[in-house]
Every structure is written in structure tokens, then in C-alpha cells.
Structure 1
Amino acid sequence: MSWMNLSREGDVWLMTLCHGDNRFNNESMAAWNEALDTIEATEGNAALVITADDPKFFSNGIDIEPILATHGFPYFLNDFAPRLEALFLRVARFPMPVAFALNGHTYAGGAIMASAGDIRFMRADRGRFCFPEVNIKVPFTPLMTEVVRLLPNSAGAWEMMSTGVAWGGEEAVAKGVIEHALSAEALLPTAMAWATEMAKKDRATYTLIKRRFRVALDVYLSK
């Protein structure tokens, strides 16, 4: 079973996660980086939309129990977690417009990944957006905190981080942490339409503006 499908419509790349609840582990992170390598290596203006094909989940976060059972906590802390942070950082600084079309539950590491995008579209009728870390006693790392700060409303982001509340699409939009809540039928077409327009922007100029706006992330580039 593959981890994702990658396709292209004109200047818009579409990455579709296709592995159930799409948790992060060594295999899925390798697939993420391979797909991003392919997209980044292409020339010319472009944009990226990331979604999933499961009717219930976008991503349920880290596949932590098998990782700990197989490799132990020191490995998780010193090897796996830094590589996952590097993936979040890569998406947050990715050299083109990046939209997330959140088709279902987006929890923990999945929600941090969605925070790294430039814009988020979410189903209004199904799925929740949640940072449960405070409830499971897993503090955010400094880099993860900075990525979550990229959400459009810092007060809403803090409420989510500090309480572990899970919001549906309409409430997440009302709280300002998600930009658009849409029907299932409109979700992907709307995200693709946004990406089609944004792909008309000069890629080098957009990338420079984006990275300067997110300059707080630069401190993590050498770590």
C-alpha cells in the first residue's frame, strides 16, 4: 500500500495521502520527502495542494506506539523527532504556494503539518482540527511551536495548544485558525482553484516573500 499519490494539473501539483489515517513514521516521512523532492526539482511557476483520500482522516499524527516498541524512546527523541521537525520546516518554507485541503480529522502532528501551509481549506461537516499534546503530556518543541504560530490567528492557536480542544471546520474558521470551511464536494475544487491562481505568481518572488515573512523559522535551518 503506497503512502501517497502525486499528480499534476497544469501548474498545480496535487499530493493525495492514501494510507488510512496517514500517520507519520519512517516510511511515510520518506514518501513525503521523495514527493517534495520531485515537486521542488521542477522548473517554472507552480503551486501545491495536499489532501487525503480517506473519508474520515487527513492525518492522525505520529505513529508513536510502533516506533517506541521497535526502537525505544531515545531513538524517538534523538533521531525520529528531529527528522519530523525537518519535514515540518521544509513544508513551512517550501518554495511555492502550499494549500491544505483537510478532508477529515487532523490531529497532533497532522495539525502541525497543516499549520505549515500557506492556507487551509477544511470540511465544514466532518472532521476536527486538534492539538491534543497538552492532554497526552507531550510538549511542543520550539520549532513545532513556531510552526503552529503560522496559523492565521494566534489567540485561537494558543487556545487550541493550551486546552487540547478539537474544533470542526466551522468553529475553526470562527476562531480564525482555519481560513475556509466548505462542503465535501467543494473542498478540493476550491483548493485547486486557489492554487491555480497562485501558481501564476512568480515562484522566486513568492518564495522570497514567504520566507522573509516567516523569518523566525530561519534559526532552525542549521539545527
Structure 2
Amino acid sequence: MSRLKQAIDKTVSLKTPVGYFRNGNLDIIVMNQNDNRLNLKFCEELHQALDQLEVQKESRGQTLVTLSTHPKIYSNGVDFENLRNDKEIEQVLEGLHQYILRILQSKIPTVGCIDGHAFAGGWFMAIAHHFRIMNTDRGWICLNGISLDIPIPKAFNVLGTQKIGEQQYWETCCLGTRFNAYEALERGIVHKIYNSENILKKTEDFADHLAKKNLDPIAFRLMNADIYNSSIHSLSNDKNWDLTIQKVSNCL
């Protein structure tokens, strides 16, 4: 059994919303809250998992993989049903901002295993990783805010543009286009695609390949921060959320 499948099974058995495991040269974060929609509790659990990762004494020769226990969903974005007011919306946006920032500034390579739908906030959670691997049998990756009249905040737009390029991001963001795995690969949104039978093994093999590079975490983090400087700066400073909060509030 693959180490990723072991982590999934362990998270399910523990009934925890988010599981963190270190197994050899892999650090694994497993999302396990229904369709992994973002609410206050789920954001807190995600950050606690990253806290566990960041206190590990040895980081050299490690790779982080994130994935979901849900057979069809990576994350469906903001949890409209369980947010009660503008303050909670703002707190969730802050939680998402900080999660993306922490993934983006990781001192080890990161791989998002997109084993199902990744919508809205889930799209950004996936795109923050250095590498994205998507399931060919099921799942769409989409920024659907435009279809809900919800503007995406500036910092997310800076990140999306830097990650996949201006034209590709414009089509994704401003048109709300849905992409399957093959289309996402063609557009550079994901890097590798595999069917359901092989995605866990292939993701683990790729993560293991990265880990074997035995990269120095200090040098890695410094160069990574230089390359993603514009996204990191915007995520750290640009929080023009008022209209986004208002529009999300209209969906509650």
C-alpha cells in the first residue's frame, strides 16, 4: 500500500478534518472534511497541520504532498452554508491567504494531488503548490467566482497570473472556464495527469523523486521567495476584500 493511501486511511480512521503525517521522506497533509469547504474550523485545522510540518527538525530531503480523502473533491472553496456574517467571511479569507502564503513559502518542494474538483478557494489552494497532479477520470478545476458575481481579491490574481501566465489566468478568472485534467495540463495549470488507479502511486513516485534531490531547505526557501516575490508581497500586504466580502455575504 502506498504511503499516501496509508495517510488517507489513517485520517479517515481518526475522523480528523485534516491529518498530518511524516512517512520517510514524505510529509503528507490529508483533507478530510466532507468536500473540504473553507470555514473557520477547517482553516484552523489546515494551519495546525502546517504547524506540525514546520516544527520538524529535519527538512532536507523532504517533499510535502497534500490531498483529499474525498473520492471526487480536492476542495470546493468557501463554505457558504456555515459562515454567519461578514467578520467570519473576513476571517476565512485571512485563513486562506495565510495558508496559501505558507505553502508558497515552503522550504521543501510541494505537490498538490488534485484527485477531484478544485473550485474557487480550492483552486488557489492547489495552485500554490510547486507542482500539481490531476485525476483524468474525474474532477474539474475552476475559478467560478465570476458566475457568482464575486470578484477575486488582488493578491489571488497576482498569484494566479504569476503561476500560469496572464492570458491563461485571465481566461480562467474572468471567464470562469472549467478545465478537465487534459485541458488543465495543456494550459499549464497542472503538470502531470493520471487516472484514478495510478494517481496516488504516480504522485508518490514523483514526490519521492523530488525528495531524493536532497535540497538544502535554507537555500531552497531563499530562492523560492525571490522567484515568487510579487505573489508573496501581495498576499502579505494587499487585503482589499470589502467588495468580495459583500458579494460572499449575499450568497449566505
TM-score in terms of structure 2 length:
0.81
Query: How much does 1:203 deviate?
Result: 1.5
Query: How much does 1:105 deviate?
Result: 0.6
Query: How much does 1:137 deviate?
Result: 1.0
**Maintained 8 Å contact 1:101/1:122:** yes
1:62 counterpart (33, 55, 78): 78
- Aligned pairs for 1:1-223 within 5 A: 1-44=15-58, 45=60, 46-67=62-83, 70=84, 72-73=85-86, 75-199=87-211, 200-216=214-230, 217-221=232-236
How many residues are paired up? 219
**Maintained 8 Å contact 2:40/2:91:** no
**Maintained 8 Å contact 2:158/2:234:** no
**Maintained 8 Å contact 2:140/2:181:** yes
- Determine the C-alpha separation between the residues in 1 that align with 2:90 and 2:71: 34
Q: Secondary structure, in 3 states, of the residue corresponding to 2:35?
A: coil
Mark the CA change 1:222 to 1:41 in structure 2 (over 3 Å): closer, same or farther. farther
Give RMSD over aligned pairs: 1.7
When structure 1 is superposed on structure 2, of 140-149 and 32-41 the one drifting more is 140-149
- Determine the C-alpha separation between the residues in 1 that align with 2:135 and 2:92: 31
Q: Secondary structure, in 3 states, of the residue corresponding to 1:149?
A: helix
Which AA in structure 1 matches 2:98?
A
**Maintained 8 Å contact 1:151/1:178:** no
Query: How much does 1:77 deviate?
Result: 5.0
- Determine the C-alpha separation between the residues in 1 that align with 2:126 and 2:196: 18
Mark the CA change 1:187 to 1:30 in structure 2 (over 3 Å): closer, same or farther. same
**Maintained 8 Å contact 1:131/1:161:** yes
- Determine the C-alpha separation between the residues in 1 that align with 2:221 and 2:152: 27
Q: Secondary structure, in 3 states, of the residue corresponding to 1:36?
A: helix
Which AA in structure 2 matches 1:26?
L
Q: Secondary structure, in 3 states, of the residue corresponding to 2:197?
A: helix
Q: Deviations over 1:85-109 (max 9, x none)?
A: 1222121112211100000011000
- Determine the C-alpha separation between the residues in 1 that align with 2:95 and 2:36: 17
Q: Deviations over 1:3-61 (max 9, x none)?
A: 12222221211111112200111111111111001111112212100011111111000
Q: Secondary structure, in 3 states, of the residue corresponding to 1:14?
A: strand
Which AA in structure 2 matches 1:97?
P
